[in-house]
Amino acid sequence: MFKSILITAVCILLPYAADAAFKKDAPTVLITGANRGIGLELARQYADRGWNVIATSRHANGDPGLAALSEIASSHPQVALERLDVTDTAMIRGVAEKYRDQPIDVLLNNAAAVEPTFAADMAAVSETYDKIDFDAARRDFDVNALGPMRVAQAFMANVEHSKTKKVISVTSLAGSFGQPLPGAIAMNYGASKAALNKYMVLLSIAMKPKGVVVGLVQPIFVASKADAANMKGAAPIGQEIGKLIKVIDAMTMEGAGKITNFSTGKTDPF
């Protein structure tokens, strides 16, 4: 009886995975937060390029939020789906153990604590200091700053054993001191992204001797959510992610520890 309960519990806790047929000579990318927005489009475009893709999401198998990502995997045999919550160290290490022998050319930290719509995002980032929800602040820091560090720590050996050796994290103008997000305060979100920037700068210094390029990227305004698609100034997501991938392809040690704006191709201030 006890054995049966234990087996059931283990099956529930294990990450889900699609049976992927990785190409032996193809590069591999791991993407966090791959079920929607920028992460989903990254998974789509890397898959179309023939890369092996480890597409991760915190959602459980069968969740409707995985429908679009599952569709990509169904038409690309080299795409693996893995459940990975960037706030859960044990889960991250479990996925890393599964892929311990798989070189990862590009580790893409994209998962972030954001709202499902652009309008909700703007409402959240416009809250003033006297309205700070400190539980929400902890969540933002846990996902946006500590999450990428957990993932980098768990998968760095995979990156080191790859040909490309890149760790790329998606940041935001909201975290910038020198060029803050116009018209928004972004207390929690902005502070957590500033913390992410600092972590990645320090990580870039630590990994430089090992040949690992640790870079930061950010857009200006991408139509990554349905209610932003027709907004003035919102760039088509397919177009902008195409730019992002080119930026990642071209990034060298010279760009390590810096923020590259993939909408403009320029270096943005911290």
pTM, two decimal places: 0.88
Of residues 164, 264, 182, 169, the one with CA closest to residue 217: 169
**Nearest alpha-carbon partner for 86 in 3, 155, 7, 177:** 155
Q: What is the chain's mean pLDDT, rounded?
A: 88
Q: For 92-121, how does the pLDDT look when each residue is reduced to its tens digit (9 = 90+)?
A: 999 999 999 999 999 999 999 876 766 666
- Averaged pLDDT for residues 175-198: 85
86/188: higher pLDDT? 86
- Orientation angle between helical segments 118-125 and 187-207, nearest 10 degrees: 90
What pLDDT was estimated at residue 225? 59
User: What percent of the chain is modeled with pLDDT above 90?
Assistant: 70
Residues 212, 160 contacting (CB under 8 angstroms): yes
CB within 8 A of 193, min separation 6: which ones? Answer: 144, 145, 171, 172, 174, 175
Q: Give the model's pLDDT for residue 182.
A: 64
Strand, coil or helix: 138: helix
**The pLDDT of residue 229 is above 80:** no
Output the pLDDT for position 60.
86
**Cα separation of 195 and 122, whole Å?**
20
| DSSP assignments along 6-29, one per residue | HHHHHHHHSPPB------TTS-EE
The stretch 146-164 carries a mean pLDDT of 98
Domain ranges of the chain: 17-268
CA count, 13 A, side-chain hemisphere, 55 = 37
Asked whether residue 194 carries a pLDDT value surpassing 50, the answer given is yes
The residue with greater pLDDT, 9 or 160, is: 160
Contact between 88 and 143 (Cβ < 8 Å): no
Weakest-pLDDT range from 1-5, 50-54, 226-230, 233-237: 1-5
Look at residue 43 and give its three-state secondary structure: helix
The alpha carbons of the chain give a radius of gyration, in whole angstroms, of 18
**DSSP assignments along 141-200, one per residue:** HIIIIIHHHHHHHHHHHHHHTSSS-EEEEE--GGG-SSSPPTT---HHHHHHHHHHHHHH
Token duo for residue 99 = 């892929």
Average pLDDT score over residue span 186-214: 96
- pLDDT score of 114: 75
Tell me, what's the pLDDT at 227?
63
* CATH classification number, 17-268, choose in 3.30.70.141, 3.40.50.720, 3.40.50.2300, 3.30.70.920: 3.40.50.720
Span 181-203, average pLDDT = 88
Specify the pLDDT at position 174: 87
Of 127 and 38, the structure prediction assigns the larger pLDDT to: 38
Residue 10 has pLDDT above 60, yes or no: no
pLDDT per position as a tens digit, 17-71? 445 899 999 999 999 999 999 999 999 999 999 999 999 999 988 888 899 999 9
